[in-house]
Amino acid sequence: MSPVSCGADTPVREMSKARVDRAGTNPILAAILRLFTVFRAVISEIFDESAYQRFLDRSQLQSSANAYATFRKENDQAKSRRPRCC
């Protein structure tokens, strides 16, 4: 499976062929599956899971306590540099 990129050159995960085939037979199931997929992606973004995965991919690291500590440090530094309004 070759990686697909969104507009920001970020890899997009594709649904497995088995899920697509199963959902293709029933339009209601397909709609529920799409909704669940979007919901899961939103939750992943809210709780920084996607950002952590992008960090691991960019840094070519395996998930570990040290890698997560480095991610949190980098993430906290980036947040502290942002200007605050009001």
What residues does each domain of the chain span? 1-47, 48-86
Query: How many other CB atoms are found less than 10 A from the CB of residue 55?
Result: 19
Instruction: Give just the sign of the alpha carbon dihedral 67, 71, 72, 77.
Output: positive
pLDDT digits over 4-55, tens only?
Answer: 555 556 565 655 555 555 555 788 988 999 999 999 999 988 888 889 999 9
Examine the pLDDT at 74 and tell me if it is beyond 50: yes
